[in-house]
Structure 1
Amino acid sequence: MSIFERYAPFVQDYIYRNEWENLRAVQVAAGDAIFNTDENVLISASTAAGKTEAAFFPIITLFSEDMPSSVGCIYIGPLKALINDQFERLNELCDEADIPVWHWHGDVAMSHKHKLIKNPSGILQITPESLEAMLMRKSSVLSKLFGDLRFIVIDEVHSLLRGDRGGQTLCLIERLCRAAGVNPRRIGLSATIGEPETVGRFLAEGTGRGTIIPTIEAKGAKWRVSVEHFYIKSGKDGESSADKEAGTEQEAGIEDAFEPSYRYIFDNTKGRKCLIFSNSREESEVVTSTLRRYSELLNEPERFQIHHGNISAALRETAEMIMKDDDMMQSTVTTATLELGIDIGKLERAFQIDAPWTVSSFLQRMGRTGRRNLPPEMWFVIREDEVEERAMLPVNIPWKLLQAIALIQLYVEEKWVEPPRLDRLPFSLLYHQTMSTLMSCGELTPGELARRVLTLKYFHRISLDDFKVMLQYLVKNDHIEKTAEGGLIVGLQGEKIVNSFKFYGVFKESEEYSVRNEYEELGTIVAPPPVGEKIAIAGRVWTVLMVDHKRHSVYCTKVKGDVPAYFGECPGDLHTKVLQRMRRVLCERRSYPYLKKNALSRLEKAIDMFKDKDVMKEMLFNLGGAKWCFMPWVGTYSFMTLERIIRLKCAKKLGISNFDSSKPFFMVFNMRAGREEFYRILKEETQNDFDMLELIFPKELPLFEKYDEYLPPELIKKGFAEGVLDKKEIIHLFD
């Protein structure tokens, strides 16, 4: 029997109605794995390949033959927008078989949720945060809701593999299954997975099953990719023309009011339906307001929407509705919120302002286009401040342009995508799941609490001793209270935290920090850097003296310097393989057919600057006198490790001063020693067997994750030193 014949009649009718001539390869492979085995399944196929149908056609067929007595399938989606989109699609599919489809997240009415609790059935679509809330607040009805749970489908599983949110999802699945006494099969869906076998093991943790990863032969797809470069246009006093006050156009003419890169986007979205991706919410706001202002200056109808996580649900849904309407030729400026699988209709092209930080994001964003028989199309718009010819060498390198080329080439040449990061020391998540478990279960003995939490597979690297240290600290600070009988419950301080709706999520909200010197407030930033790091604000460079996390204040002092400094920690998580490919771009003259005129010219200029330097072998360059530039070409976490080894273990020996860095690209410093001595001492220190805690600065408390501030300082330092910093890649860097 073919997979099509195995489908229920109403599924076959759905396929006929939609005029599908045949099943796609992913649907055949997934159907075979789901129908004919009892294993977990990881379905990896390109965007718009029909992965959702591949999973649900067999599931609802099985349900129609033997209807579950509770919710039979949970669909976990990373975004509300994705759940809303899939809710409509699944409803149409399941209506005829009388299989209810429910959705549950913060924007869903309570009346809808109460109906599910009263009559648990069918398919439940939910976010990790809403599942957390359900486990905490509805623990008494979990067995009723999920007593016959047979499948858990995790959509866009790649988006959950590089931080605490993925760990939270895995913990929630394990806790739910224990509470309901079930062991459902898990099905992961993704278009962009690096190291699928590793992800398959992650998916299977605690199930006693293996994971089938069907081999799906992908057809050779054509892309339309272009990369163009622009210098940011500045006025006499240095401000970007897009930021000038209204009225400038009357003084300088309308054309002078247009920033070239934004004008390029403005002109090439006209009469088309496009997505414009930026790498931050703040940048999205600037881009949208600028493009809308251009429409106003030219007396054209407004045609730009905005979509990101900090705007209201109503505005997000308006943008989604407009994008789904094929008759409305509008474009939406967005962050990662429209990167994932929501179907927003016939998109002609996507724009990417600067480069994304991962190959995965590039593929996901380009994959938003190319639906309905159109090729995927991505236009990179690389923006760079114009620098003087005599500026220091590292500033003259077009880092964003190199990054864009490297991301494209890594996939074109090797089909490479970033692997997951699953071996961290997630103490922040440990706090979160400990408090959530206490909230849902009530009083527990310390031993019972440890058995419930430490046996969750994601915490495999955390010892019982570390857990005891955390519990003692939380009792001392009244996050947890010890009862007269020796049990543990949530304490008064803990109640303030767990009773907030913000507790359900493990990702940090964007809380602004006020930046001050001894005289005045300079402005605000979102991610405060560690003490000793530099930031650029109010047109000057400052060194951070103190970070007061309770008052959300950063205190600093002015220093000289013209090397750009990033706000907070790293601007993005770049993999070493991306940096190494960027290095090759800089030192090899070859044709990249997608580079447009300005981008090609800018790359050739950069290559000419390095033509007399052996970039593939040399990493340390003299900038004149005692000033040096070090470019190690390693990923973000290895770069941070190397930076700390230099500052904490090598600086005195080498006579290093005035140290500055632009993570993860280069470090600039003054040094009394020469090149050979630098390499010799750095090699010795990197290969020494030292405690990674030695790479924590004096008085530094590296708070990076959401709940770090509630943890004992020794665990915060250990989590950062042994779970974030990475020495493996740099041990043989100088061989």
Structure 2
Amino acid sequence: MRTEEAFDRLSPAVRYQIVNGLGWSGLRPVQALSTQAILDGANCVVLAPTAGGKTEAAFLPLLSRMDVEDWRGVSVLYIAPIRALLNNQEARLSTLTGLIGRRAGKWHGDVKEAARRRMIDEPPDVLAITPESLEAMLLSTRTPARRLLATVRAVVIDEVHAFAGDDRGAHLVALLERITRIGQADIQRIGLSATVGDPEVIVSWLSGSSLRPQRVVDPGGARKAPELALDFVGTLDNAALLIDQLYPGTRRLVFVDSRRRVEELGHRLAQRGVEVYLSHSSLALSERASAERAFEEGTNCVIVATSALELGIDVGDLDHVIQIDAPSSVSSFLQRMGRTGRRAGSIANCTFLATDEDALVRAAAIIELFRSGYVEPARPATWVPHVLAHQAIALSMQERGSASHDWWSALEGCAAFGEVSVEERESIVRHMVASDILVEADARLALGARGEKLYGARNFLELYAVFSTPRVLRVMHGQMEVGVVDASFLEDTERKIPNFILAGRPWHIVGVDWRAGTCAVEPAREGSYPRWFGLPVSLDRSLCQAMRRVLCSRQNDASWSTRAVAALDAQRQLHAFLDEDPQPLEEEPDGRFRWWSFAGGAGNRVLAGLLELEIGERVSPSNTFITFSNGAAKSRAVIHRAIDALAACTLTWRDAIRLVDPSQRSRISKFQPCLPPAIEHGLIARETMSIEDANETLALWKRTATPED
């Protein structure tokens, strides 16, 4: 297809503004392909690298339709996973809509009430919003959500991969169904991403009840090979030293996968006199915004950030991306590396600095998977009963009492509930009514007394989002908010009365107001690093298998430094036993046994749990191996026979549910009280385990294991 053909399909006004307003000579390949798909009325996923013109690829044809079909009111929703991305895209959307005399607006928790009132009085043509703010709008008694959303004709979901794999994605596609019912229109759904391993699955998941055709827009084409480097530095101190010395006179973005280590590295760089800025979710918005602004304007500086900055936020023209240790997926690596290589003539790049041997092997495995062209599939869930319960409550509040026989019609066709059976759906509502979370009166469902306590009144904000966050306290220096810290951390530090570091600066605790949820501080000379609540990283089986291949290989990648090669050679020697068997059962010097399954965290949890039930002694999982301790380690033959027994059959979710302890309920969702016990146990199993990975691992064992005499 020639790009001229797509260009000619756009409205005269849009064609004129592309040339005279934007100063372009034509469309990029991705924009030409998306123009054809969107003007054909298809739901689609648009793939292009960061800064590849995805936003224009979606909006130019939508603006053309808006112009030709004379759409009025809020016609297009632009949905992003985080507020910062909405803020970042605000000027861009205003420019694009302004080309044809239309307007864009922004709606999230930081937008002032006066600005919201103006949008209610004069609705913008494009509304930028997060799913949580969209839910809040639907539930608000002060916002005429039906009037505002009845005119929606298309939805653009940016960074769609960030939604697809978790509860926020299920919540999002449920919201799309509810909005579709409000306007009684088949809303066009467009997802944007730089990294999706299974785009056909994503577009089907987005489409839900929509009857529109589905397309994947992928311009393909050869891209310049990025510049990759992997070095072994051993400690965070050495990483700070190297970052100080690497690429002087340039703008460097350093990714670190925990807020605590962002603070630690930022502080160490500052002590070296590096101009450094920090960005993570526990810093105040003003702190993050000023850091990103200062970094964007600098020329010889470093910003240290968590994964939030991989989601398309523009911090200017970056020179280099540096990764401390390794991310947990190829997709995340691609997003981060995609921050570079935007400038004409520049090449995307990423330097890994591994601070320990495990991180070194993982980084090498990420590079290996990338070279092979692999990107993890997003695997959007189709059985999310807790999100269904959330939506049943939300609908009862949105409708001021939803029809008990017809509430499901607002969600029917939603892909997130595709595997929730009619019996399960009805049992969830019966359980909520029996538990007084909902009440049924006059054939309508409304919030009950317990539901009011859990999700209504003072806890009403709990209903807007499908996930919970731990209790935090705001850290205040005078009237300025610095950020937040976990309450549990502050309880410890207050008892010991130390100082702590936040936003890269040390603070002394002046006082804590637990009722108000604030901690007053003043500058200090030194301090300890705070901690935040977080879960252990669970790696996919694909990445763990790549780690095994790295350890078994004799090949060295061109990106590895001399130090990395030496450290990896040492790891290969330590793991030489892998050469004989892809999943060996090895005895450790302390008498324990390790089964090197490389099944990934979720798969190993299933296997370890079932093996512990079989053997009757302690069996514990990690990402790459399963450890047999105490009585479980008395006999290699017993372990071997137990694994053989598992491998003799195909595991199902019933097997995983057996591992859920009813007396120790895992905190998976704040909507667990809405679920009958059997469904709750199924949710815990599916959220923490992987039957597929366990079965693949057992199939390999069955093919390759040496029989035990």
Residue identity opposite 1:283 in structure 2: R
| Alpha-carbon distance between aligned partners in 2 of 1:625 and 1:324, rounded to the nearest angstrom | 53
Residue by residue over 1:701-727, the C-alpha shift from the partner in whole angstroms, topping out at 9 and shown as x without a partner, is 122234335544332212122564222
Among 548, 560, 563, which residue is 1:598 paired with?
A: 563
User: How far 1:613 sits from its partner (Å)?
Assistant: 4.6
Aligned-pair identity in percent equals 28
User: How far 1:375 sits from its partner (Å)?
Assistant: 0.9
Among 641, 657, 676, which residue is 1:680 paired with?
A: 641
SS in 2 for 1:734: helix
Residue by residue over 1:82-131, the C-alpha shift from the partner in whole angstroms, topping out at 9 and shown as x without a partner, is 11121101212222421111111111122222222222241111111111
SS in 1 for 2:692: coil
| Alpha-carbon distance between aligned partners in 1 of 2:662 and 2:78, rounded to the nearest angstrom | 46
Residue identity opposite 1:340 in structure 2: L
Question: 1:211-222 residue pairs with structure 2 within 5 A?
Answer: 211-222=214-225
**Residue 276 of structure 1 contacts residue 351 of structure 1 at CA under 8 Å; is this kept in 2?**
yes
**Residue 41 of structure 2 contacts residue 213 of structure 2 at CA under 8 Å; is this kept in 1?**
no
Question: 1:274-673 residue pairs with structure 2 within 5 A?
Answer: 274-295=252-273, 303-325=275-297, 327-373=298-344, 374-384=346-356, 398-413=357-372, 415-423=373-381, 425-453=383-411, 456-483=414-441, 485=442, 487-496=444-453, 497-499=455-457, 500-511=460-471, 571-611=536-576, 613-614=578-579, 616-624=581-589, 626-647=591-612, 649-652=613-616, 656-657=617-618, 659-670=619-630, 671-672=632-633
Among 650, 657, 678, which residue is 1:714 paired with?
A: 678
Q: TM-score, normalised by structure 1?
A: 0.81
> Quick one: structure 1 residues 351 and 283, their matched pair in 2 at CA, closer, same or farther if it must change by over 3 Å?
same
> Quick one: structure 1 residues 417 and 12, their matched pair in 2 at CA, closer, same or farther if it must change by over 3 Å?
farther
> Quick one: structure 1 residues 228 and 79, their matched pair in 2 at CA, closer, same or farther if it must change by over 3 Å?
same
Residue by residue over 1:362-384, the C-alpha shift from the partner in whole angstroms, topping out at 9 and shown as x without a partner, is 00011011111221111111112
User: How far 1:328 sits from its partner (Å)?
Assistant: 4.4
> Quick one: structure 1 residues 269 and 308, their matched pair in 2 at CA, closer, same or farther if it must change by over 3 Å?
farther
Which residue is equivalent to 1:32?
Answer: 36
Count of aligned residue pairs for this structure pair: 636
**Residue 18 of structure 2 contacts residue 24 of structure 2 at CA under 8 Å; is this kept in 1?**
no
SS in 2 for 1:148: coil
Residue by residue over 1:8-28, the C-alpha shift from the partner in whole angstroms, topping out at 9 and shown as x without a partner, is 445544455655454321011
> Quick one: structure 1 residues 304 and 568, their matched pair in 2 at CA, closer, same or farther if it must change by over 3 Å?
closer
Residue identity opposite 1:733 in structure 2: L
Residue identity opposite 2:692 in structure 1: K
**Residue 701 of structure 1 contacts residue 713 of structure 1 at CA under 8 Å; is this kept in 2?**
no
Which residue is equivalent to 2:186?
Answer: 183
SS in 1 for 2:165: coil
**Residue 143 of structure 1 contacts residue 181 of structure 1 at CA under 8 Å; is this kept in 2?**
no
Does residue 264 of the first structure (1) align with residue 242 of the second (2)?
A: yes
Among 92, 104, 108, which residue is 1:105 paired with?
A: 108
Residue by residue over 1:687-714, the C-alpha shift from the partner in whole angstroms, topping out at 9 and shown as x without a partner, is 4466432122362312223433554433
Which residue is equivalent to 2:701?
Answer: 734
Which residue is equivalent to 1:694?
Answer: 658
**Residue 620 of structure 2 contacts residue 628 of structure 2 at CA under 8 Å; is this kept in 1?**
yes
User: How far 1:220 sits from its partner (Å)?
Assistant: 2.5
| Alpha-carbon distance between aligned partners in 1 of 2:452 and 2:661, rounded to the nearest angstrom | 33
| Alpha-carbon distance between aligned partners in 1 of 2:129 and 2:260, rounded to the nearest angstrom | 28
Question: Unpaired segments of 5 or more residues in structure 2?
Answer: 472-485, 490-494, 498-530, 703-709
**Residue 73 of structure 1 contacts residue 124 of structure 1 at CA under 8 Å; is this kept in 2?**
yes
Question: 1:148-167 residue pairs with structure 2 within 5 A?
Answer: 148-167=151-170
Residue by residue over 1:51-107, the C-alpha shift from the partner in whole angstroms, topping out at 9 and shown as x without a partner, is 111111111122222321221111111111111121101212222421111111111
Which residue is equivalent to 1:393?
Answer: none
| Alpha-carbon distance between aligned partners in 2 of 1:661 and 1:231, rounded to the nearest angstrom | 26
Residue identity opposite 2:7 in structure 1: F
Which residue is equivalent to 1:247?
Answer: none
Among 171, 175, 197, which residue is 2:174 paired with?
A: 171
Which residue is equivalent to 1:229?
Answer: 232
When the two chains are superposed, the root-mean-square deviation of aligned CA atoms in Å is 2.8
**Residue 401 of structure 1 contacts residue 599 of structure 1 at CA under 8 Å; is this kept in 2?**
yes
User: How far 1:339 sits from its partner (Å)?
Assistant: 0.6
**Residue 232 of structure 1 contacts residue 260 of structure 1 at CA under 8 Å; is this kept in 2?**
yes
User: How far 1:4 sits from its partner (Å)?
Assistant: 2.8
SS in 1 for 2:321: strand
User: How far 1:329 sits from its partner (Å)?
Assistant: 3.2
| Alpha-carbon distance between aligned partners in 2 of 1:436 and 1:680, rounded to the nearest angstrom | 50
**Residue 435 of structure 1 contacts residue 498 of structure 1 at CA under 8 Å; is this kept in 2?**
no
SS in 1 for 2:56: helix
> Quick one: structure 1 residues 22 and 455, their matched pair in 2 at CA, closer, same or farther if it must change by over 3 Å?
closer
Residue identity opposite 2:28 in structure 1: R
Which residue is equivalent to 1:554?
Answer: none
SS in 1 for 2:303: strand
> Quick one: structure 1 residues 569 and 123, their matched pair in 2 at CA, closer, same or farther if it must change by over 3 Å?
closer
Residue by residue over 1:561-587, the C-alpha shift from the partner in whole angstroms, topping out at 9 and shown as x without a partner, is xxxxx9999622422111111101001
**Residue 570 of structure 1 contacts residue 636 of structure 1 at CA under 8 Å; is this kept in 2?**
no
Question: Unpaired segments of 5 or more residues in structure 1?
Answer: 234-258, 296-301, 385-397, 516-520, 524-565
> Quick one: structure 1 residues 266 and 479, their matched pair in 2 at CA, closer, same or farther if it must change by over 3 Å?
farther
> Quick one: structure 1 residues 491 and 341, their matched pair in 2 at CA, closer, same or farther if it must change by over 3 Å?
same
Residue identity opposite 1:728 in structure 2: E
| Alpha-carbon distance between aligned partners in 1 of 2:181 and 2:668, rounded to the nearest angstrom | 31
Does residue 273 of the first structure (1) align with residue 251 of the second (2)?
A: yes
Residue by residue over 1:533-557, the C-alpha shift from the partner in whole angstroms, topping out at 9 and shown as x without a partner, is xxxxxxxxxxxxxxxxxxxxxxxxx
SS in 2 for 1:733: helix
Residue by residue over 1:508-528, the C-alpha shift from the partner in whole angstroms, topping out at 9 and shown as x without a partner, is 31445859xxxxx999xxxxx
User: How far 1:261 sits from its partner (Å)?
Assistant: 1.8
